[in-house]
Structure 1
């Protein structure tokens, strides 16, 4: 009888063939749980509930060490440019990131991957040093969010939770925060209620960023619980192979015009623009195609006082997933 592995991951288009069984997992059966990312992260980090799970890249790096609970494979279910994830009040005088120096910024958690990317990019390319603002953590639109991982930060980094019952969106609207860094759109922004993006043309800014760096920022990776990996070393390679097949199947018809696969009339045009800007494989898996993004993120994590040392990309992943079989 084939072993059954439970995998928790959001049901993205590139993962859906694994969810619906169109693509199988070699040598095993997959019990795919389509869960929102925050729930998956919380349950995996706190209780180790799943055999395989989508995990924040930042959180995963912070679990590395002698008794690391997880082993990653170079599959990246979530990526996103993050210039578009910086929000200010609609009437804020701030028009450039450097103007936030001396201010207070809200983040759901200091260590989340989106915030690491934003702080690093703003420091390196936009003149806003990481320690030049105060950070306040908590729920974006719902109170009660806390850091999932204990942090030991440099003394010059001011991070503190917001008051019980408060939200980052509410504090931004009330003028108690100068900006919010958030992977999710704040609720008032979606409702057109007094919040705008800091960058006036974030799409253009993000395309320019990719053109100059070659980086499409990685948000999440897939991890295998270490005890499962030790018992089934073959699982890492088979998981990568299946995820590659799933991604290929999902993206094959994204630009189709005969019968639109998604309810977006000009998705074909967006697919063509994306291909022109990012290349034919704009969502690559594997180490080498993602080396620049991984090296940059690992540098940011260490510089921001999160990772205890600057890891190399090869240290993140199961070694057998870094080699190709030559025939």
Structure 2
């Protein structure tokens, strides 16, 4: 008997072979629900609407400290992103170097969002900007009235202030009501290197390449979570999904290397692909546990240091045990 799984996820290129049916998980009828990440996360985290979905890595880790532990993850990572490019500052704020962030007012859509967790951790490790050295302002970036998806219990030394119900972080940054913004999406008020709102690191590709050369970390943003009840009823679905998602990703990597014709509308796609492999390694977007263990361990340390996790979890604790060992085909 086949198991039906409704799977919420964005339409990434690495998911295309799953979406169009070229790859089918063994024993599973997968119904791919194509949705932007914000909708997927909200519906899964608040209401557990799907058997499985893409999940914010940070939200998933926070959920592991709840009594019900509603999800189990597999080591599939639909989204990775270097986040030095995602720190925006007001040109009049006096922030010219990362160290200048100390004592400033910093916006982030949600304190527990994965992108700001990585940003805060990197700023602390590399530039001495400790998590409690700024005041955080949370709320909608472009639309007002956004709240945290999960209830947080933060230490007293971490200062988080919700913005007003009619305010947006993007406009507040432009108007100087906050000094900086840590976010996943480029704010609409960003106006280039010489504008009122600019990036802290306008030369971010060079900065991010140097970061990878030093640390070996290509930050993980999202994982794939399965409702715990579905996992406990059919543990075999973890390996089936991991195999299928890995096969789909490998097909996409092969497609990116194609030089007979451009599969993506990027004129120098072949050059970008070759540069990525030369800089990050032949399989620069690895799935599976072993090759991602140290990146996950760094994130789990950040989650604890930033008051989101009461203790530092071990990477082995956050994934289904069936997926911790590689299988040989």
Q: Same fold (TM over 0.5)?
A: yes
C-alpha displacement of 1:43: 0.3
Distance 2:63 2:199 in 1: 32
- Alpha-carbon spacing, 1:142–1:267, altered in 2? closer, same or farther (3 Å): same
TM-score normalized with structure 1 length = 0.97
Q: What stretches of structure 1 move > 6 A for 4+ residues in a row?
A: 190-193
C-alpha displacement of 1:133: 0.4
Contact 2:191–2:198, Cα closer than 8 Å, also in 1: no
User: What secondary structure is seen at the aligned counterpart in 1 of 2:147?
Assistant: coil
Select between 23-32 and 88-97 the one with higher mean Cα deviation. 88-97
User: What secondary structure is seen at the aligned counterpart in 1 of 2:79?
Assistant: coil
Q: 1:232-284: per-residue Cα shift (whole Å, max 9, x none)?
A: 11100000000000001111121322111011110110111110110001000
Residue 33 of structure 1 corresponds to which residue in structure 2? 33
Distance 2:260 2:92 in 1: 45
- Alpha-carbon spacing, 1:41–1:20, altered in 2? closer, same or farther (3 Å): same
C-alpha displacement of 1:49: 0.1
Residue 11 of structure 1 corresponds to which residue in structure 2? 11
Unaligned 5+ segments in structure 2 are none
- Alpha-carbon spacing, 1:190–1:13, altered in 2? closer, same or farther (3 Å): farther
Unaligned 5+ segments in structure 1 are none
Residue 24 of structure 2 corresponds to which residue in structure 1? 24
Distance 1:298 1:6 in 2: 28
Contact 1:95–1:199, Cα closer than 8 Å, also in 2: no
C-alpha displacement of 1:291: 1.2
Contact 1:51–1:224, Cα closer than 8 Å, also in 2: yes
User: What secondary structure is seen at the aligned counterpart in 2 of 1:4?
Assistant: strand
TM-score normalized with structure 2 length = 0.96
Please provide the CA RMSD for this pair: 1.4
Distance 1:301 1:155 in 2: 16
1:221-240 superposed matches below 5 A? 221-240=223-242
Distance 1:36 1:236 in 2: 23
Select between 81-90 and 235-244 the one with higher mean Cα deviation. 81-90
Distance 1:260 1:251 in 2: 13
1:1-327 superposed matches below 5 A? 1-65=1-65, 66-189=67-190, 194-325=196-327
Distance 2:241 2:103 in 1: 46
